[in-house]
Amino acid sequence: MLAMSGILHLRLGHGELDRQAQLKLLRAVASFELAKGLIVLLAGCSVLFLVHKDTGDVADTFLRLLHISPDHHFAQVFLKWADNLTDTKLWAVAGVAIVYAMLRFVEAYGLWKARAWAEWIALVSGTLYLPFEVYKLVEHASLLHISVLIVNLAVVLFMAYLRLSARKARMA
């Protein structure tokens, strides 16, 4: 975030970001998208370790490891959810995670190479997340929720700026 604000101060006299600053910001966003993709891919693949296992026992062990009593309401909900997991559901979760990660990787590549299609993907996907992030913030305001909203809003606004700048340049 600090890098983004530092780059935003590199403005030309007529109020537009210079190309070098745009590229640095795009690559920062690309790196962020790559990191998100890697995290989701790791999580999705980790789910596969639960295939052919008693997920209820794994969940109970996990709660005990975190020193959470299985008698608490949320622990009971978690244990019930884990008991209902099937191998098919686990494979489905892993499959969705892989598809999501691939989308993030493609987006990261496109942003790194400053491709317009990737800017559109970042703009649309970032915009889709905004209502959920606002809801989470209203439901439970925390530094994490505020940070996520601010970063996502900055990315969406930057992508909108790039697309509008490109449109103006085409029309001129």
Please tell me whether residues 31 and 106 are part of one structural domain: yes
Please tell me whether residues 30 and 100 are part of one structural domain: yes
- Among 69, 85, 114, identify where a domain stops: 114
pLDDT 10s digits, 11-54:
444 456 788 999 999 999 999 999 999 999 999 999 999 999 99
Domain extent at residue 142: 115-172
- Among 114, 146, 163, identify where a domain stops: 114
- Among 76, 93, 114, identify where a domain stops: 114
Please tell me whether residues 58 and 102 are part of one structural domain: yes
Rounded Cα distance, 143 and 149, in Å: 10
* Domain assignment of residue 82, yes or no: yes
Number of neighbours of residue 113 by Cβ within 10 angstroms:
12
Rounded Cα distance, 44 and 37, in Å: 10
Please tell me whether residues 120 and 146 are part of one structural domain: yes
Q: What is the total count of domains within the chain?
A: 2
Find tokens 């305001």 and name the residue. Answer: 141
Write phi, then psi, for 17 (nearest 5 degrees): -70, 135
For the chain, report the end-to-end CA distance as a whole number of angstroms: 33
Pair 40, 101: CB distance under 8 Å: yes
pTM equals: 0.78
pLDDT 10s digits, 128-160:
999 999 999 999 899 999 999 999 999 999 999
